[in-house]
Amino acid sequence: MQAPFSTLSAFRETLAAAPGPDKAATEGAQARNGQLTKPPGALGRLEDLAIWYAGWRGTAQPQINAPQVIIFAGNHGVCAQGVSAFPPEVTVQMVANFEHGGAAINQLSKAFGAKMDVHPLRLDTPTADFTTAPAMTEAEVIEALQTGWNAVDLQADLVVTGEMGIGNTTAAAAVAAAVLGGAAADWTGRGTGVDDAGLQRKTDVVAKGLALHQSADPLEALRCLGGRELAGMAGAIAAARHHQIPVILDGFICCAAAAVLEKAAPGALDHTVAGHLSAEGAHQQLLDRIGKAPLLQLGLRLGEGSGAALAIGVLKGAIACHSGMATFAEAGVSDAP
């Protein structure tokens, strides 16, 4: 299904009209969970995850058979300000690596049975340097949002969104600050590993962008300070909600894109869980602000959707227990009094 919007205003309306979870399926999953051969609450958060997933899939006894990992790649004009430890051409080189199966995300996708798709977004035309102009025109951000929306496979039963883009921790920090408030230093981190001077340069660049682009509209913040890959992820997350497909969010950059949706339409992230807490300094703060507790904390800072892909295993485990375990009646085990 093609994206049902062609303006930011229409995208906002699409977000606001998104469906919620299936109440009957949620209640059925809760009832089933209470009958399984275990003490109440013994599987901890796995129980909550299974019930949450069941509600969004519309069945009390769901399966995960077709996860999809979608990687969006974009280049950033703000790299001209020296904000990254790597040159912009690495984006193109890493996309080729994804396409040839050589990256970490390829291995993790394969390990957890996920279909993986890669979408390079006009890599030969970086976004504008947001310290001097809006990063994207409305037409450009809509194109990226539509690409993300259309990238979701309607046969998928779980979606992971990831990214590649040299300079995109700077864009994500600027978007997070604009959407959630606070100073540039609160959100800017070392990204790919810049030194102290590089971190100060990044912080100054983010502050300059925030001063130039002042708007209370989160979608305008995405347009003026973000990047095509952030918009692509936002579009895919929104499409998954529209089709009632649960989403695992990745690290700082993905969550910055997701925060745009939450601020534009509160509750827009109810179909998502956070895959992990990354090593990027402001990620915990960002998770707190969008109300998500990470499933994993392993010190990852790679991006690519890698932490979220690893968390597919946690969610698969939760669903396997919920849907595969016997009830007390089925197992002939005496229920607790």
Q: Is 89 part of the annotated catalytic residue set?
A: no
Alpha-helical segments (H) within 213-242: 218-225, 228-242
Cα diameter, the chain: 70
Contact 203, 184 (CB under 8 A): yes
Q: What is the DSSP letter of 334?
A: P
* Rounded alpha-carbon distances, angstroms, from residue 2 to 10, 55, 145, 261: 14, 25, 11, 19
The two three-digit tokens of residue 239, written as one number: 């499409």
248 with 273: CB under 8 angstroms? Answer: yes
CA distance readout (Å), 7 to 31, 46, 230, 310: 43, 39, 17, 35
Tell me which long-range contacts 237-240 makes (C-beta under 8 A, separation of at least 24): 237/148, 237/159, 237/161, 237/261, 237/269, 237/272, 238/11, 238/14, 238/15, 238/18, 238/145, 238/148, 238/149, 238/268, 239/3, 239/148, 239/149, 239/150, 239/151, 239/152, 240/152, 240/156, 240/159, 240/271
3-state secondary structure 80-109: HHCCCCCCCHHHHHHHHHHHCCCCHHHHHH
Choosing from 220, 280, 304, 330, which is the catalytic residue?
304
Rounded CA gap, 258 and 278, in Å?
A: 15
| 3-class secondary structure, 190 | coil
Candidates 288, 287, 282; CA nearest to 169 is 282
Kindly list the catalytic residues: 304
